[in-house]
A and B are shown apart, each in its own frame.
Chain A
Amino acid sequence: MDTTLTIDQVHTLEAFADTIIPGEKRGPDDRAIAGAATGGGAVASGAIELMLSPEGGLADTLDSLADGLNEHARDYAARVGLTPEPTVPPFVAMEFADRIALARELLDPGHPERELWVALAMFSSMAWDTGAHMHTTDALAAGHPGLTTMGFMPPDPDGLWRFPRFSYGRPLAAIHPRTTPRGDPQ
């Protein structure tokens, strides 16, 4: 499987992932990440690594997805009267608000290519929500931005989760009057 991407293709996919779960720029020259939110977003959480993972099944379509995004960005720019900066890929050249507007078009139920872009969006989300390219214990130990920001609690020292305190431990509502003696609905 050839998963070699050009740097422009990587930046384009990063810009799309950053539109789904935005994050802060990696440095002053970072163009792919728009910097629309504080803290690490999908890119810092491993979106590209997850897209490239052989398990995911997306890897060999990523080059055409990146190129497709840039085609749509060129079309979008022409429609709304933007002049894309030529030094970066057209999708990367767009401001965050325009990236969002284009992503909404691509993810709209009526868009003919929606399935492709929904898949890419789901992988972007999953990178942040789950860090599924890494073992979860490793991701948490490394301060994975998504899991950490969500407040995902860490495991016990053996890598397993246990919550010995889990209940308010008291009745909190009247049960339904037609509950059977076994506890079922009638």
Chain B
Amino acid sequence: MTAFKQTDVVVVGSGFGGAIPAYHLAAGGASVTVLERGPWLTADEFDHDFKFGSSSTAAFEFTMGEGMNVLGGNCVGGGSVVYFAAMPRAPRFVFERQGSLGRRMWPAAVTRETLEPWYDRVAQALPITRSNWDDVTYAGGVFAAACNHAGRTANPVAAAIDTELCTNCNWMMSGCKFDAKRSLLLNYLPAAVGHGARILPLHEVQRIERTPGGDFRVHYTVVDPVDYRVQVGAGAIEAKVVVVAAGAAATPVILQRSEEQLGAMPAAVGRYFSGNGERLNTAVLNEDRVREVLGLDRGDGLAYAANQIGRGPSAASWDRLDGSLPEFSRYSLEQLYFPPGFGTILAQAPDAVGPSWFGTDKKEILRRWQSWLTIFIMSEDDNEGVFGPPPVTGNADRISMQMLSRSNLRYEPTANTRHGWALADADIRDILERDGLARVMPWTNDVIGAYTVHPLASCRMGDDPATSALDDMNELRDHPGIFVTDGSAVPGALTVNPAFTIAALAERAVPGIVRAARARGVDVRYLGALPPAARASRPVTVPSV
């Protein structure tokens, strides 16, 4: 007979949805074990390097589905380590969205007003700072100036970045070498560890079952630190409460695979996936026109030519974040940077005679890469993503040693989604092609389909059991004691970067998780104190189970 390790709470995943409950539960006295399938990297191990095997592939996940590709974090700290740290609150109208349901999709208990105190807590803990024009990079500045020229507004974007430490290297998708990005490695996670939480990297949870005593047994495999296709071990941990926060591309897959032992899952597990209505456009700027029309000059003889410089997004247009507009026509436009590779392959050459995303025309626009400006659309999609049967292990079949895998997520954009994209594409052209400033093309969706860096809603909260998997306190319907607190709990697209909202919802869920743990005999209290800030991400010794 096997004796299983015991803990009060298992947390699956260490991004925003996992780190926040892990910290509060540990601080309140619970024994907490966090199982994270990716590696535990710190600033010393974040590389400025595109080489396969560097942190750009070790910490990052590119999951290819049918019609939808998901980019996300795969490391301790999850998305917070590899994201761009843009942190706007979701606009009020988002919480009133109906999607195609014909009624409000969010739980009645969650509105912008009720979420504000939880947003405030996250803003203080990370922290998030309001940006001003001195913080806006050349790329953000040229977009803002073009918006202004077109009679639009533009805003500096609030971010969880310490601009005193930031070098504007634009390598932040590989993790921040300078600990300027206020990732979870600098607040919630070290505080959780300080309160005794155990974080086990390279532990990929496969399924959850119930023990005869009514607790949970969480089964994992241990992943090779270099070749993630290889499993080097396996085990299980028993817990009274399980928090699933593996990310919206993985949480529903774990629950689907657990169905055989746990019993039927709510119908909304693995359905209603949203890509946050995301889409990208690439503008190739005419440097002379940038100088002449917008009056911009870097002071070193160049007008722009600064695609490489910065820290992801720094300015956004919120003119279409207007609750009086009909649903599926509202979106934000955000200046963004993607490094070569992710940021170049799907970009299309304007006026191409031959193919637009490869060949001679593509090479010609690549010669002008420093004059590229990437504009990110976050719109209202139609929650049209559905997960097929789970693969044997993990959330997807791994192709490469790291980063690249193929999942059973299917996504066919509806007319509603495509309507929003078409409006936004036209808007970007109107802003950036005016007076010869640039030529603009959307990225092609013909090669791999749509893509998102903000997967959402695949195990969503709501009031209606038929169309939501979680109740309004993030507990999985029909499976008391299992909570879902990551992006998959967000009911639908947010029209802005979602990390802040995911984090606020996770903060909001904690008191309910504490109550559930207490009801199961765990000696834990909700203290509500926020984690202290750490200055540096600390190297760790990987513990053994």
B134 touches A151 (CB 8 A): no
Pairwise interchain contact B363-A160, C-beta atoms closer than 8 A = no
Interchain CA distance A149-B362 in the complex, whole Å: 13
Residue ID in chain A nearest B112 by CB atoms: A186
**Count, A-B residue pairs, CB within 8 A:** 214
Q: Which residues of A contact B355 (CB under 8 A)?
A: 100, 103-104, 107
Q: Cβ of A172 and Cβ of B136 under 8 Å apart?
A: yes
Cβ of A166 and Cβ of B153 under 8 Å apart? no
Q: Beta-carbon contacts of B132-158 to A below 8 Å, as 1s and 0s?
A: 011111100100110110001111101
Contact with B along A49-72 (1 / 0, CB 8 A): 010011111000000000000000
Enumerate chain A residues within 8 angstroms of B133, measured Cβ to Cβ.
Answer: 167-172
Residues in A neighbouring B141, C-beta threshold 8 A: 167-168, 172
Q: How far is the CB of B148 from chain A (nearest CB, A)?
A: 4
A79 at the interface (CB under 8 A from B): no
Tell me whether A159 and B446 are in contact (CB under 8 A): no
Annotate A6-39 by CB proximity to B: 1 below 8 A, 0 otherwise: 0000000000000111100000000000001100
Write out, one digit per residue, whether chain B residues 329-341 have a CB within 8 A of any chain A CB (1) or not (0): 0001000000111
| B171 at the A interface (CB under 8 A) | yes
Check if B52 sits within 8 Å of A53, measured CB to CB: yes
Chain A, residue nearest B345 (CB)? A125
CA distance A185 to B330 in the complex (A): 13
* Chain A residues, Cβ within 8 Å of B137: 166-167
A126 within 8 A of B: yes
> Do A149 and B366 have beta carbons less than 8 Å apart?
yes
Quick check: B366 and A129 within 8 Å, CB to CB? yes
Contacts of A152 in B (CB 8 A): 308, 340, 369
What is the interface of chain B mostly: helix, strand, loop, or mixed? Answer: loop
Q: How far is the CB of B5 from chain A (nearest CB, A)?
A: 33
B contacts with A, residue count (CB < 8 A): 80
Render B379-399 as a binary contact track against A, CB cut-off 8 A, 1 for contact.
000000000000000000011
B4 within 8 A of partner (CB)? no
Task: Tell whether A185 pairs with B88 under 8 Å between CB atoms, given A131-B50, A161-B167, A173-B148.
Answer: yes
Complex alpha-carbon distance, A22 and B477, angstroms? 55
Q: Mark A150-184, 1 if CB is under 8 A from B, else 0.
A: 11110100011111111111111111111110111
Tell me whether B340 and A57 are in contact (CB under 8 A). no
Closest B residue to A162 by beta carbon equals B167
- Chain B residues with CB under 8 Å of A166's CB are 137-138, 168, 306, 309-310
Q: Is B98 an interface residue (CB 8 A)?
A: no
Q: Is B1 an interface residue (CB 8 A)?
A: no
Interface bin, chain A: 35 or more
Given contacts A21-B362, A173-B152, A176-B155, contact A163 B134 (CB under 8 A): no
From B15-23, B215-223, B400-408, B481-489, the one touching the partner chain is B400-408
Which residues 94-131 in A have Cβ within 8 Å of B in the complex?
Answer: 100, 103-104, 107-109, 118-119, 121-122, 124-126, 128-131
Task: Please indicate the chain A residues that have their CB under 8 angstroms from the CB of B319 in the complex.
Answer: 176
Whether B131 sits at the interface, judged by CB under 8 Å, is yes
Q: Is the CB of B89 within 8 A of A184?
A: yes
For B67, the closest partner residue in chain A by CB is A109
Chain A residues near B538: list those with CB within 8 A: none
**Cα separation A158 to B284 with both chains bound (whole Å):** 31
Contacting residues, chain B, for A164 (C-beta < 8 A): 167-168
Task: Tell me the minimal C-beta distance from B136 to chain A in angstroms.
Answer: 6
Q: How distant is the Cα of A165 from the Cα of B309 in the complex, in angstroms?
A: 9
The smallest C-beta distance from B150 to any residue of chain A, in angstroms, reads 10
Do A103 and B136 have beta carbons less than 8 Å apart? no
CB <8 Å contact, A163 and B48: no
By a CB distance below 8 angstroms, the chain B residues around A176 are 153-155, 318-319, 321
Q: Does A48 contact B (CB under 8 A)?
A: no
CA distance A109 to B177 in the complex (A): 39
- Taking the nearest CB of chain B, how far is it from the CB of A175, in angstroms? 5
Bound CA–CA A147/B48 (angstroms):
14
A176 to B354, CA, bound (A): 41
B143 to chain A, nearest CB (A): 9
Complex CA–CA separation, A175 to B308 (angstroms): 25
CA distance A109 to B370 in the complex (A): 30
Q: Which of A131, A169, A178 is within 8 Å of B134, CB to CB? A: A169
Complex interface: chain B residues within 8 A of A151 (CB): 305, 308, 367, 369-370
5 contacts between A and B (CB under 8 A): A121-B358, A124-B358, A130-B341, A170-B133, A184-B89
Besides A166-B168, A174-B148, 8 other CB < 8 A contacts? A20-B358, A56-B401, A100-B355, A147-B340, A163-B310, A176-B318, A180-B89, A183-B155
Interface residues of B (CB under 8 A from A): 48-54, 57, 88-92, 123, 130-131, 133-138, 141, 144-145, 147-148, 152-156, 158, 167-171, 177, 229, 296, 298-300, 305-306, 308-310, 315, 318-319, 321, 332, 339-341, 344-345, 354-355, 358-360, 362-363, 366-367, 369-370, 398-402, 404, 446-448, 496
